[in-house]
Amino acid sequence: MIRRPSIQQQMALITLIPLLILTICLEFFLLHGRFADLDQSLMERGKLIARQIASGSEYGVFTNNQEFLRMIANGSLRESDVRGVAILNASSETLLTVGSMTAAKLDRNDDAKVAQQTGKQLTFARWVDVIPFGGVNDTNPIKISDQSLWLYQPIVPTQVAVDDLDIGEPAKQIGAVIVEMSKAHTEQDKIEILIVALIGTTLFLMIALYLIYRASLSITRPIHLMSQAVEKIAKGDLSTRTKFYTNVVELSTLAHGLNEMSVELEQDREILQQRIDQATQALREKKDEAVLANQDKSRFLAAASHDLRQPLHALGLYVAELRRQLNSSSQQHLVEQVEQSVDALVTLLNALLDISKLDSGGVIPQYQPCAISTIISRVAADYHMLAAIKNVKLVVRTSNLYVDSDPILLERILMNLVSNAIRYSHPNGIVMIACRKRGNQLRIEIRDNGIGIAQEDQVNIFNEFFQVSKPQLDSSKGQGLGLAIVDRLVKLLGLGIELKSTPGCGSMFALQVPINTELRKLSDSGKYPALSSVMPGEKLPLQGKSVLVIDDDELVLASTATILASWGGAVESATNLDRLQELLSEGTVWDLIISDYQLADDETGMDVIAMVRRHNSSQTPAILISGDTSTDLLQLANAAGHHLMHKPVKPAKLRSLVMFLLSESSSA
Task: Please report how many Cα atoms fall inside a 13 Å half-sphere around the Cα of residue 407, on the Cβ side.
Answer: 20
**512 or 307, higher pLDDT:** 512
Separation CA 259–CA 565 (nearest Å) = 90
First CA to last CA distance, the chain: 84
β-pair partners for 514: 441
- 205-209, 268-272, 354-358, 480-484: least confident range: 354-358
Contact between 445 and 421 under an 8 Å Cβ cutoff? The reply is no
**pLDDT classification of 164: cutoffs 50, 70, 90:** low
**168 or 556, higher pLDDT:** 556
Same domain, 414 and 509: yes
Same domain, 456 and 559: no
Q: Do the strands 430-438 and 441-448 form a parallel or antiparallel pair, or are they unpaired?
A: antiparallel
Which SS3 state, helix, strand or coil, does residue 611 take?
helix
What is the domain range of residue 229?
1-158+171-238
Q: Which of residues 238, 262, 296 is at a domain's end?
A: 238
Domain count of the fold of the chain: 3
Counting residues of the chain whose pLDDT is more than 70, the rounded percentage is 74
| Phi-psi map region of 236: left, alpha, beta (phi>0 left; psi -120 to 50 alpha) | left
pLDDT tens per residue, range 533-547 = 333 444 577 788 888
Q: 102-109, long-range: CB within 8 Å, 24+ apart, which pairs?
A: 102/134, 102/147, 102/148, 102/180, 103/130, 103/131, 103/132, 103/133, 103/134, 104/130, 104/131, 104/134, 104/135, 104/143, 104/145, 105/129, 105/130, 105/131, 106/131
Same domain, 371 and 508: yes
Separation CA 505–CA 152 (nearest Å) = 78
Which SS3 state, helix, strand or coil, does residue 374 take?
helix
Report if residue 294 sits inside a domain.
Answer: no
Q: Which of residues 238, 269, 288 is at a domain's end?
A: 238
Same domain, 552 and 486: no
Mean pLDDT of 276-297: 81
Q: Tell me the CATH number at 386.
A: 3.30.565.10
pLDDT at position 432 is: 92
**Does residue 116 surpass a pLDDT of 70?**
no
Same domain, 101 and 184: yes
pLDDT tens per residue, range 64-77 = 888 888 898 888 88
β-pair partners for 646: 626
Same domain, 373 and 446: yes
Same domain, 449 and 580: no
**pLDDT classification of 130: cutoffs 50, 70, 90:** low
Q: Tell me the CATH number at 139.
A: 3.30.450.20
Q: How far is CA 70 from CA 86, 109, 177, 256, in A?
A: 10, 39, 12, 90
Separation CA 488–CA 412 (nearest Å) = 11
Report if residue 502 sits inside a domain.
Answer: yes
Q: Tell me the CATH number at 662.
A: 3.40.50.2300
Q: Do the strands 113-115 and 94-99 form a parallel or antiparallel pair, or are they unpaired?
A: unpaired
Of these ranges, 10-24, 270-284, 326-340, the one predicted with the greatest mean pLDDT is 270-284
pLDDT at position 444 is: 92
Query: 437 burial class (0-12, 13-18, 19+ CB within 10 angstroms)?
Result: exposed
**Does residue 593 surpass a pLDDT of 70?**
yes
For the chain, give the mean pLDDT.
77
**Does residue 488 surpass a pLDDT of 70?**
yes
Of 535, 663, 539, 641, the C-alpha closest to 592 is 663
pLDDT tens per residue, range 387-436 = 888 888 999 998 888 999 888 888 888 988 898 888 888 888 899 999 99
Q: Which of residues 494, 514, 534 is at a domain's end?
A: 514
The 10 Å Cβ neighbour count of residue 479 is 20
